[in-house]
A and B are shown apart, each in its own frame.
Chain A
């Protein structure tokens, strides 16, 4: 049976009717049209579906939409302000840290979760923060560089 729920995504509240077996990823992509969070493995392995719930990184393919009620959901679409890219996004562009782009939203949100708590991380801390995000284009070096550079500024 569908349940009615209210989700707060990128500061905006949405009223929805959702089946309880639907994941947050499915609802973001299919009901809200927010396709920034990607569906890769759908089993928790790749991190491409990463979103922030109350500032912490979660895999939206392993969260029931009904359980995301009452939390601040941040997806990659909510990062730029008034058409201006977030500094981490800007740095990814500058460093060529994006190849096909499939992993990028998850990488950037994992990085944001880290930098919001720890604005001056070591390289090892950056790598640990990205340990749940796979990049099949193997662009890790540039991704780490892009995040370290943002942390300096």
Chain B
């Protein structure tokens, strides 16, 4: 499979990139690591692809590569405040960072174990979010951490909470002329516990069947929960929070009986499109495991 022809544009600044998006609209696509976009373009231009999508939807005429943008931050951390993740920051960049390891262990663990080495070198966190896949592995941890995406266009700028970023499978709130300039991740308040759990299909890409990311912020050392975030991936049309389960933890100390009750509730908060019984069962199991682990982490 080969790539279709396109023009490659290499803006030097993000302002230039948004200007290009403004000019070319849906004819253009941003290229970060390319591990989703290039695969998609190859499939679309193949014989099977042109049957499925038709000639018109073969893909963009303009590919806007962000690699040439100068001065993009990879990772910027202001202690006690936020971590900023740039649009070409790869999983390997995050996995190699001792600051992330120490201050954002949930994110570090998710990036370090993401897919496989070659995909960690090339793939970006922002690309994972913008692709809009319901099974995107990095989106649940971003949601659990309360991350926001800074979205820019030539006209305006806005911040979108990651939990509101995907609207349907492979659809996001981004407009044609917008791009994600940065992810802003607040520092969790100490003391806190976390856990990242996932189980996969047995396919070439080992796509996720269920992803669970949990962040518990405790009121004090005796681990009364002040605020919980339980984020789920691959069990609904978009990654989302299990709000009812979260509220069950509010002001409580988690014991085995409560964890059991939450793990039953959480299954009902999913809406898988396929393999639903198995996905519900695994969500239950992984949430129980995650809460137990988060108490110890």
Q: Kindly state the separation between the CA atoms of A113 and B118 in the bound complex, as whole angstroms.
A: 10
Judge whether A132 and B5 touch: CB under 8 Å. no
Residues of B with Cβ closer than 8 Å to A?
Answer: 1-8, 10, 31, 34-35, 38-39, 42-43, 63, 65, 67, 92, 115-119, 121-122, 204-205
With contact pairs A42-B1, A43-B42 given, residues A20 and B35 touching in the complex (Cβ less than 8 Å): no
Q: Kindly state the separation between the CA atoms of A131 and B116 in the bound complex, as whole angstroms.
A: 6
Q: Which residue of B lies closest to A134 (CB)?
A: B204
Contacts of B115 in A (CB 8 A): 132
Q: Kindly state the separation between the CA atoms of A106 and B4 in the bound complex, as whole angstroms.
A: 26
Q: Kindly state the separation between the CA atoms of A23 and B5 in the bound complex, as whole angstroms.
A: 11
Contacts of B42 in A (CB 8 A): 42-43
Judge whether B118 and A47 touch: CB under 8 Å. yes
With contact pairs A62-B34, A62-B39, A67-B67 given, residues A20 and B7 touching in the complex (Cβ less than 8 Å): yes
Judge whether A56 and B121 touch: CB under 8 Å. yes
Contacts of B2 in A (CB 8 A): 21, 26, 42
Interface size, chain A (Cβ < 8 Å): 33
Q: Which of A7-38 contact B (CB under 8 A)?
A: 19-23, 26
Interface centre among B4, B6, B117 (most CB of A within 10 A): B117
Judge whether B117 and A21 touch: CB under 8 Å. no
Q: Which residue of A lies closest to B122 (CB)?
A: A58
Contacts of B5 in A (CB 8 A): 19, 21
Judge whether A43 and B39 touch: CB under 8 Å. yes
- Chain A, interface SS category: mixed
Judge whether B7 and A45 touch: CB under 8 Å. no
With contact pairs A58-B121, A131-B116 given, residues A66 and B8 touching in the complex (Cβ less than 8 Å): yes
> Is A57 positioned at the interface, with any CB of B under 8 Å from its CB?
yes
Judge whether A44 and B3 touch: CB under 8 Å. no
Q: Which residue of B lies closest to A56 (CB)?
A: B121
Listed A/B pairs (25) with beta-carbon separation below 8 Å: A1-B7, A20-B63, A21-B2, A21-B8, A43-B1, A43-B42, A43-B43, A44-B35, A44-B118, A46-B204, A47-B118, A56-B92, A56-B117, A57-B118, A59-B119, A62-B35, A62-B39, A64-B38, A66-B8, A67-B34, A67-B65, A128-B116, A129-B117, A132-B115, A132-B116
Judge whether B8 and A3 touch: CB under 8 Å. yes
Q: Which of A41-72 contact B (CB under 8 A)?
A: 41-47, 50, 53, 56-59, 62-64, 66-67
Interface centre among A1, A19, A21, A110 (most CB of B within 10 A): A21
Contacts of B67 in A (CB 8 A): 67
Judge whether A132 and B119 touch: CB under 8 Å. yes
Judge whether A132 and B39 touch: CB under 8 Å. no
Q: How far is the CB of A19 from chain B (nearest CB, A)?
A: 7
Interface centre among B10, B118, B122, B205 (most CB of A within 10 A): B118
